[in-house]
Amino acid sequence: MRDPPAAEVRDPPAAEANPPVDCTRPKGSFRTIPHRVEPPGQTPPPDMSDPETRFKLTLHYDGSAFHGWQLQPGQPTVQGALEAAAEQLAGHRRPVVGAGRTDTGVHATGQVAAVTMPSRWEAPALARSLNALLPDSLWVECAEPVPADFHPRFGATSRSYEYRVGTAARTASPFHRRRCWPHGAPFDLDAAQRAAQVLASVHNFRAFAKSGQPQRGHICHVTHARWRRWEDLGAVFEITANRFLHRMVRYLVGTMVDIARHRRAEEEMALLLSGETDLTTSPPAPPQGLCLTRVDYADTGTVTPECKPKLSIGKPKLTSWLAPTALATLLAACEPSSPRAAVPDPVAASASIPASAADDLAGRDGGPGRGQVAGGLPNGSTAGLPGQSLSDSRATAIVRAARTVAPSVVAVSVRRRQQVRRRSFFDDYFLPFRETRGLGSGFVVDERGTVLTNHHVIAGATEILVTLPDGRDFDASLAGSDPATDVAVLTLEGAAGLPVAPLGTASDLLIGEWTVAIGNPFGGLISNPEPSVTAGVVSALGRHIIPGEDDDGFYLGMIQTDASINPGNSGGPLVNAVGEVIGMNTSILSRSGGSEGLGFAIPIDRALTVARDLVEHGKVQRAWLGLGVDAVEADGFGRSRGVRVARVTRGSPAAVAGIREGARLLRAGSSRMATPLDYTAVLLDLRAGDRIELALDGMGAVQLQAAPLPSAAADRVELLRDLEVVTVTPGIQAERGLASAEGALVVEISDALARRIGLAAGDVLLAVNNRRVRTAREAADELRRTQRGGRSFVLLFERSGRMVRTGLLEWR
């Protein structure tokens, strides 16, 4: 950054000798404080004696100078530059919230941000002082005072983008190529316009989203889409929508440019939107041609480059606990000397969140990240505003979120029949089973009675009963469950018209965002069926929980929250401040057995993807890349220092892409690789056909298309009734981590048959009566031979890397 002029860095100047009276700010209500430079790491606390004002900033920036909007350690970002400047002016850290997160290289001429500053700042002086501290590539066009709860993301009703494609040869000039895609001729503008016409409606834009985003949440309402001529340089694509998916505009432009160059048929655009095709989009257009041009709001009008400085914050800003009674009386008596726009009541503005804001899920090209504000709630209090009732001031965002989601949260009661071991010779030998009961939570995702909960809540259940908050009971059946992700789907019998939980996304949460945990702790100890509500914040993201002695497996990529999660909360929703489910409460770390502020939730994006697979296919359709990883090195405490490629399976997507063993894996998708668990967490969310980018040391970025798991794609052979196997191949061996390179992998077996012969899913059958079997077909032939002869037999198989031999088995 350049050194700012001294006159611009100081706080606003003191009042003149005989200034005109401004009734919107009490005389002498602010003071001049010398600018201070604190030693590194010593940030002074905010002066809570001063009232604060929230300002809306309209921004222009050159995206080529930044690594996107959001803060990134060690990288220049728009948010980072703004927060650094605001901290210098305020004397302590001031979070800056944006209307959307633009990617690296994407520009803006109408981005909107918000920051809360000491009320001594006037809007014009704040804009000038920020600009004096900001780099040349970032400019605050204007600052405006807004209500304390103004949120540039949640309040937005639409966003508009432009993308410039250069067709003239001179667009390759350095003066143009940083602001456009210098593509060259030919370019059929009429064909591009016909392709764009099908966009202006409500569509599922899944085909045009970056891989890894969940299917639920791809619906966007495009209100304007057209191509126009860009002088004699090329063409400009304009688009306005209520929300955008990650890289959605760039995928649209890349596909339409191919249509304009007659490399694709015009009809393919409609086919891609329908989802009823095997077609894929063209590669995304590069980022430098994209520009965010405007953001619209329902209450305050359009916030774009046309914004103008308005009045200073007056009476509605001051709360009773900030203003003495005499001062409040003075404010009430004052009338502005010139017409001023009214400032909306913060509580009234927050009481009704626009539907488009509640529907605004993740998106970086055009949509913001969910939970982009650390802390979630605005800084100023709403209690005690003039003309505001006490009951209204109590209706906080947490109250509204709980009120929205709680009707869809259910109690899940289960009965199990478990076999118990005899503790002594005197125990009853003829009662080896006992009935146990369990209780958890869940939430309704479909009005016809589809409920999501945890696998561990219903595992082994012989009977499942679901109770709604209004007291209604429904018998439930298990539609499917996945132990690896701890997700289960229930179907309620005879249900209709049930309240449904609004579903959000966890893909863009930030640490510090408010969270609400809803569930049914302690079950029958609380008499009524209404769920309990606890509040906290997002404590951490992407947590990997290593299992303890009594746990079955790892929990990967979890949301950590300090909202209390107690026994019985498992399966309930974790909700954000606008009343959308962002996770499924699953586990806690505790020494006492109760909540100690270390709760963990499955991201809702993963839960929905797994649930969709369970409903449509009966099992999770996981994907395969064909590479295994291990830690680069670990210290004496077991901490990894990176990830390297340990093996690459012949013929796999990784092998086809040229990835070599020993290469250091730096990133998979958007996730940095620090430990092997980071890679496993990425695979959990990957599906066959998804595109993913791997960054490897010495190789750069490599694009892979995930394939189905080899064991899922292999031909099955039925050995016996209720027993199916597949032939072990190099791909299956790598997928399952098998010691054996040959044999028949058990992929499905009934519980009854498993108890009789001792096999389980995942075992590899190696021999029948000491005769080696190398394929699934050979295993079937050997078993049928013993069956026809009525002979007994012995099986040799691999389980968890060990060789196991059964006792003598007989046909019956």
Alpha carbon separation from 134 to 144, 519, 638 (Å, rounded): 18, 46, 43
Which amino acid, residue 154? F
**From its phi and psi, is residue 356 left (phi > 0), alpha (psi between -120 and 50) or beta?**
alpha
Lookup: tokens for 146: 């807004």
Which of 253, 251, 242 is CA-nearest to residue 217?
Answer: 242
**From its phi and psi, is residue 85 left (phi > 0), alpha (psi between -120 and 50) or beta?**
alpha
DSSP 20: P
* Residue located via tokens 């005899």: 422
Residue 486 catalytic? yes
**3-state secondary structure at position 643:** strand
* Residue located via tokens 């061996």: 733
Lookup: tokens for 503: 């579903």
User: Which is catalytic among the residues 282, 312, 539, 570?
Assistant: 570
User: Which is catalytic among the residues 103, 365, 486, 763?
Assistant: 486
Going along 649-754, which residue ranges are E strands?
Answer: 664-668, 671-672, 691-696, 700-705, 707-708, 717-720, 723-727, 744-749
Which of 392, 403, 363 is CA-nearest to residue 502?
Answer: 403
Q: Which residues pair with 166 in a beta bridge?
A: 182, 234
215 burial via Cβ count (<10 Å: 0-12, 13-18, 19+): middle
Which amino acid, residue 600? F
DSSP 809: B
Dihedral angle sign, alpha carbons of residues 460, 461, 466, 471: negative
Is residue 449 a contact partner of residue 495, using CB atoms and an 8 Å limit?
A: yes
Dihedral angle sign, alpha carbons of residues 104, 110, 115, 118: positive
For residue 807, which phi and psi values (nearest 5 degrees)? -75, -175
Residue 392 catalytic? no
Distance CA 126, CA 90 (A): 10
Q: How far is CA 248 from the centre of its chain?
A: 16
Which of 502, 243, 445 is CA-nearest to residue 356?
Answer: 243
Which of 297, 311, 388 is CA-nearest to residue 55?
Answer: 311
Which of 453, 501, 505 is CA-nearest to residue 479?
Answer: 453
DSSP code string of 487-541: EEEEEETT--S-----B--STT--TT-EEEEEE-TTGGGS-S-PPEEEEEEEEEE
Q: Which residues pair with 461 in a beta bridge?
A: 416
Is residue 431 a contact partner of residue 489, using CB atoms and an 8 Å limit?
A: no
**3-state secondary structure at position 249:** helix
H or E element in which residue 573 lies? strand 573-575
**From its phi and psi, is residue 108 left (phi > 0), alpha (psi between -120 and 50) or beta?**
beta
User: Which is catalytic among the residues 456, 508, 564, 652?
Assistant: 456
Lookup: tokens for 59: 């921004």
Distance CA 145, CA 314 (A): 10
Dihedral in degrees, nearest 10, Cα atoms 612, 405, 152, 605: -20
230 CB neighbour count, 10 Å cutoff: 19
List the helix and strand counts (H, then E) for the chain: 19, 38
Cα angle value 529/532/538 (rounded, 5°): 150
Residue 456 catalytic? yes
Catalytic residues: 456, 486, 570
